[in-house]
Structure formats: C-alpha cells, structure tokens
Amino acid sequence: MPRTNYTANPEFLNHIPKCDLHLHLDGSIRPDTLFELAQKYKVKLPAKTKAELNTKLFKDKYESLAEYLRPFLYTTQVLQTPEALERCSYELAKDNIDEGVYYIEVRFAPQLHVNENLDIAQVMLAVDMGLRRAKEEYNNSAACRKEGRPEFEYGIIACAMRKFTADYSKYYADLYRMHPYLEEKQLYRMASQDLVEAMVHIKRKFGVQVVGFDLAGEEKGYPAGHHQDAFDLAQRHFLKKTVHAGEAYGPESIFQAITDLKADRIGHGYYLFEAGSIKDENIIDKELFVRDLAQYIADRRITIEVCLTSNLQTNPKIGSLKNHAFRKMLEANLSTTLCTDNRTVSHTTPAKEIALAIDAFDLSPEKLKNIIIYGFKRSFFFGSYPEKRAYVRKIIDHYEATERQFKGRTK
C-alpha cells in the first residue's frame, strides 16, 4: 500500500525541528572546503579536482570499514590550525541550520589536532568559536526572532581513542616518547585521563561548551575497560558519557560500555541483537544474554545513536536497509535517535536519515515524532535542566505547529 501520510513529504521533513547527536567534525567537512584547505596547507589529496573528491574519496558505497575511514586521513591533516578548525565548525553549524537542524553535538578527538603550534586548549577554543559564531548569527536573525523559531544550540563531545600509535599526532608521539616502557593499554588509559582533565579545565576556565566524553575507534582487541578510569573521572566531573560500541563488534562491547564506562548513550549499537557474534567464552547462553542486555538498555532508557547510512557503508553485508537492526530496536521499544555520523563521508543529512527510516521501517507519524523529540530530550544540553526543559518545549511546539500545517498533505 503506498504511503500517504504527511511524514513522507520531503518539505515536511525539512521543516520539522531536527537534532544530530552523533556528528563527527572531521567526517563532515564541506568537500569544497577540504579541497581549498588541502591546497593551502599542502596536503596531497587522492583527487585533482573538487568533483573527483566525491568519486575517489567520498563515495556512496564502501567495500569495508577500512575504506570508509580512509577520508579521515586527509580531513584530520587540514584541521591543524585554529583558522581551519573554526571555519569548518562554523560551516558545519551553518549547514545544519539551513536544513532545520536546531541542535547538534559535534564530536572529534582533540588530541589528533595537537601540533607544534596548537595546544589542546586552542583546539577546543577554535571549534567552540566557530559553532558559537554560527549560533549567535542565527539566534539574532530575523528568521529566528521574528518568526518564532527555536534557537540553535550545540554541544561538543571529546573523543578518546581506543587505539592510537605515535604517528597519530604530536600529542601521541610525546606520550610514547615520555613513557617508553609502558604497555600500550597503559598509554591508552593515560591519554583518556589526560583528555578528561583537559576538558574539565577548558570548560571551567574558558566556558567552552563541552557536554560529553566519548570513546571511538577499533573495538576488537581494544576493550572499553582500558578507559574505565577516565570515564569514572568524567562522571565525577558531571560530564555525560557516550561510547562507540556495537558498531563493528558484538553485544559484549555494548555491555562493557554500559557497565565499565556507565555510558548514558551508545553510538551505533548495531550488533546489539547479534547473539552469534558474541566472542566471550564465559557467556554460555548467548540468546539469553542478548535479551537481558536489550532489556537492561530499555529499562534505563539508554539511548542508541542510530546511523543508518553509515552502518550500510561500513557493514556491506547488511544489504538492504530493511535488514538493519533498527527494526529490532523499534520492536524492543528502545530509546533511539537518528544521526548522520559523518555528513560528508556518507553523503547524508538528518532529513535524509529520517526519510530512509520512514521508508524502510514504515514509521507512523506518532513514532517518528517520539524518536525526534526524544533525541532532544536525551541530548547532553549545555544549559541548566530548567533551560533544557524550556528549550525542548519550544521544539515540541514547533514540531506540532509543523504537523498542523502539513496534515492532510502528501508527497
């Protein structure tokens, strides 16, 4: 039966208020900007023209996770000055504002951008300055103030790395040089703790809108437990916590994230229901483990940051989007929010991700509204709790006004 409800209308999806809670800065640089900055900073790209970037670097389909991650080798190289960091952050916020996205949480690994001329405080200040500039421009604009739209808000999430080597950046090179006798897992632990301490200091001293702490990178062989001390420290300083888990490894990775690291949200969580992918020999009844894990997540409303397009690209074996684990998440009534992951690398936007979900999973208007509003509710909002409640109320009012405008209309 063809879909006739108004949620299938692209114009409706452009107008409703949207958020993006899983958004990587270095995966979301405008291709034109990347090309320009690469020329400016003498970074050699695998493309001779801007047009070639979308065929040789940013693709619609990737063969593997390794190929998907290849663009980051180049994007991180151009993000090594305050000017580049501020510009790309500003443009990212502007692009979202233009698409009706009112709240974003931008995440990246600050330690990857430390060099001889740039310390971690300067990195964070530059990103915050770009986001703040876009926010102030929009919130003081006639479109926002006179038309009664919600304000644009943002937060920054700092990513620790599950795995790194000395050649990742000057920070990591110095860490290896100063501690030549430490095992790698000890270096991982130390780097994560350094990052939390730096974020707490920078947030307090400079007012940078750091709202959360994340763990990203290769899951297999690099367990979350290596970073438990850092996440305990983050909790003691009231930083919210999200963890990349279940993106390319089994349910036990998600279990580690919510038990060892006390994650408030899970990034991806694709393998949550894959009992057959469990590697831990101590888990005897794998199906029971998966059911209990899903129930635990549901009971505590631990939100899963679902990235449909990204998952299809990094896990080609999924095949059709209809096979995505999001279907089981919906059936289990889990708390979920739809995210882009990497706008440029995945050629996507929040509206595109929502449209994919509507088409593949036949989301009712009520279910769609709940998913989108709950994303705002489960955000790591920088302001006070009363301020967050007031902001979410504005979002709901704007969503419902848009519904009234489009009800009865079709594509």
Mean pLDDT of successive 10-residue stretches along the chain, which has 411 residues: 67 96 97 95 90 85 84 95 98 97 98 97 98 97 84 98 95 96 96 98 97 94 95 97 93 95 97 92 94 96 97 90 96 97 96 96 94 97 96 96 82 50
Model pLDDT, residue 61: 83
Contact 120, 110 (CB under 8 A): yes
Residue 272: strand, helix, or coil: helix
Q: What residues does each domain of the chain span?
A: 6-406
Could you tell me the pTM of the whole model? Answer: 0.95
Model pLDDT, residue 218: 87
Q: Residue 152 carries which side chain, given as an amino acid letter?
A: F
Sign of dihedral through CA atoms 407, 408, 409, 411?
positive
Model pLDDT, residue 409: 63
Rounded Cα gap, residues 207 and 352, in angstroms: 33
**Fold assignment, 6-406:** TIM Barrel (3.20.20)
The CB density around residue 391, as the number of other CB atoms within 10 Å, is 19
Residue 33: strand, helix, or coil: helix
The CB density around residue 393, as the number of other CB atoms within 10 Å, is 12
